[in-house]
Amino acid sequence: MRLNDWKIINLPKNIKLARTAGFCYGVKRAVETTKKLKSENPNKNVCVLGELIHNQNVIQELECLGIKTIDDNSFDDVSDICVIRSHGASPHVFEILISKNKQIVDMTCPDVKKVQKKAIELVKKGFLLLILGKSYHPEVIAIKANAQKYSHNNEIFVISNMDELKEIEDKIKKHKKIGVVIQTTQKLELLANTVNYLIPIVKDLRVFNTICPSTTRRQNEAKNIARESDLMIVVGSKKSANTTHLAEILKDITNTIHIESEDELSLYKDIIRNSLNIGVTAGASTPDNIIEKVILELKKY
């Protein structure tokens, strides 16, 4: 039976796999286009600026196909064809690649582009921009850099929790207009708490919920499964923001473990054996074959 069939029915032994587990359309599009690009240009060097997705198996697979992953700032190593990953990139990166006459294949996810547009729209209208997300996340860096071009010297703030918001409260109070966007795979809770906090202290507050529909569907489905499960297993890289958020959300509902591959299941033998209903979901950068291996291993328990 293939993974997609498993997604339609409940597995025996009370194991339920989320239909939304695995690659989102933005990641699928980036991976498939990059592979196709190399197969259509076998004699040209193709590289990806930064990891295409947070999954070492996929990075190795690309490497085997002759597609190099290079560090975000190593412009000297850029090949003839350079892929911009789904997280997007700053205008500065595009300028450098153009100046080096590189062919750019922009795989920025359309949903990430929407956040960049909203952020630009806010700063153009004179709003002080607040981006919700981790400051080191490549998508956040790119959103900030794109908005910065139009920010009229206004500072752009990035916060990932309420403590960080409290630290900048005085600066925020000095501005009448505050605009908020959120990184596409963040938690809705962060947006809701931020808005509640800002309403009493900001006169003109403009908020865009820019969490992408794919993330919303994945989180909602996982929450529903978690409510009926004794244990949730989240599969995906610990470096992946969307996978980590998924595990954090589910921990508030039921016992949850976050694993990168089936090998880690043995560490949780007891809890798996003692759980009657087990739910499985996976992050947007987890390939189907890894989810498949986890399910097969789970069935042995």
Q: How far is the CB of 237 from ligand SF4 (least distance, A)?
A: 13
CA separation for the pair 119, 140 (Å, rounded): 11
Residues 59-98, mask of contacts with ligand SF4 (x by CB under 6 A): ---------------------------x------------
Among the listed residues 34, 116, 146, 185, the single contact to ligand SF4 using CB under 6 A = 185
Most distant CA pair in the chain, distance: 60
Q: Is 166 left (phi over 0), alpha (psi -120 to 50) or beta?
A: alpha
Does 15 sit near ligand SF4 (CB under 6 A)? Answer: no
Selected catalytic residue, list 139, 155, 189, 260: 139
Q: Does residue number 284 form part of the binding site for ligand SF4 (CB under 6 A)?
A: yes
Q: Does 52 bind ligand SF4 (CB under 6 A)?
A: no
Per the CB < 8 A criterion, the answer to whether 63 and 38 are in contact is: no
Contact call for residue 214 and ligand SF4 (CB under 6 A): yes
189 is catalytic: no
141 binds ligand SF4 (CB under 6 A): no
State the nearest-atom distance from the C-beta of 224 to ligand SF4, in Å.
19
- Considering the complex, state which of residue 53 and residue 231 has its C-beta at the smaller distance from ligand SF4: 53
Report CA dihedral (59, 291, 265, 256) to the nearest 10 degrees. 100
Residue 102 DSSP label: P
**26 part of the interface to ligand SF4, by CB under 6 A:** yes
Sheet with 15-17, side-by-side order of all strands: 15-17, 278-282, 231-235, 255-259
- Alpha-carbon distance 247 to 223, whole Å? 10
Residue 210 engages ligand SF4 in binding (rule: CB under 6 A): no
By CB under 6 A, tell whether 291 contacts ligand SF4: no
Piece in contact with ligand SF4 (CB under 6 A), picked from 91-99, 128-136, 207-215, 246-254: 207-215
Nearer to ligand SF4, 25 or 94 (CB): 25
* 242: three-class secondary structure by DSSP: helix
Q: Is residue 24 at the binding interface for ligand SF4, with CB under 6 A as the rule?
A: yes
Residue of 18, 27, 84, 233 interacting with ligand SF4 (CB under 6 A): 27
Q: Stretches 18-26, 35-43, 233-241, 274-282: which one binds ligand SF4 (CB under 6 A)?
A: 18-26
241 lies in the site for ligand SF4, by CB under 6 A: no
Inter-residue long-range contacts of 247-253, CB under 8 Å, 24+ positions, other chains counted: 248/187, 249/187, 249/189, 249/219, 249/222, 249/223, 250/222, 250/223, 250/226, 250/281, 253/223, 253/226, 253/227
- Shortest gap between Cβ of 282 and ligand SF4 (angstroms)? 12
User: With left for phi above 0 and alpha for psi between -120 and 50, is residue 159 left, alpha or beta?
Assistant: beta
Spatial separation of the C-alpha atoms in residues 185 and 190, rounded to whole Å: 11
Min dist. Cβ of residue 210 to ligand SF4 (A) = 9
End-to-end CA gap in the chain: 19
* Out of 51, 111, 260, 262, the residue judged to bind ligand SF4 by CB under 6 A: 111
Residues in the chain: 301
Q: Could you list the active site residues?
A: 139
Residues of the shown chain interacting with ligand SF4 in the complex, contacts defined by CB under 6 A: 24-27, 86, 109, 111-112, 184-185, 212, 214-215, 242, 284
